[in-house]
């Protein structure tokens, strides 16, 4: 991994409140997951707030695992971010614009734990592709 911060945006044809309701419910993340790693929610169903935790069953490189994430940034209908043990942060920022809402997704690996291991497993094009697909899935979901 050469980069540590990945960001992309799309205009989604929906109000921020509609999009935020999906993003703030971890049971619905599998609906838009662009990484193909999310399998199902194990714990934490319902609308998240700052400090909320949720546990997801995942599968990557053929191996199943579970991740517990915590909401670390939260501004209703505007911003939500969570991180887990490695401390990479997934952030969604919503801004009302003509035609809907600009959704900016970021994957922030600048302050991660275990950087050598993570850098071997995560590739720039994998993260960029996952973000692009997630954003495209959001557009399709609300079109």
Distance CA 105, CA 7 (A): 6
Q: Take residue 13 and report the two structure tokens written for it.
A: 């044809």
Residues 34-52 pLDDT 10s: 777 767 667 776 789 999 9
Spatial distance between the Cα atoms of 55 and 27, rounded to a whole number of angstroms: 10
The structure's pTM equals 0.86
CB 26 within 8 A of CB 56: yes
The domain made up of 5-142 is a member of CATH 3.40.50.150: no
10/132 Cα distance (integer angstroms): 9
| Contact predicate 22/32, CB 8 Å | yes
Domain ranges, ordered by start, for the chain:
5-142
- The Cα 108–Cα 5 span in angstroms is 5
104-143 pLDDT, tens digit each:
999 887 776 655 555 555 666 677 878 898 899 999 999 9
């Amino acid at each position: 991994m050469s980069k540590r911060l990945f960001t992309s945006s799309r205009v989604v044809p929906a109000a921020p409140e509609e999009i935020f309701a999906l993003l703030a419910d971890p049971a619905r993340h599998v609906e838009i997951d662009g990484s193909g790693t999310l399998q199902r929610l194990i714990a934490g169903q319902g609308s998240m707030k700052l400090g909320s935790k949720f546990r997801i069953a995942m599968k990557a490189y053929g191996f199943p695992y579970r991740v517990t994430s915590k909401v670390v940034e939260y501004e209703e209908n505007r911003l939500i971010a969570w991180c887990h043990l490695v401390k990479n942060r997934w952030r969604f920022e919503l801004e009302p614009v003509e035609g809907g809402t600009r959704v900016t997704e970021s994957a922030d690996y600048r302050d991660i734990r275990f950087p050598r291991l993570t850098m071997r497993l995560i590739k720039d094009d994998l993260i960029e592709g996952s973000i692009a697909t997630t954003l495209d899935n959001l557009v399709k979901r609300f079109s």
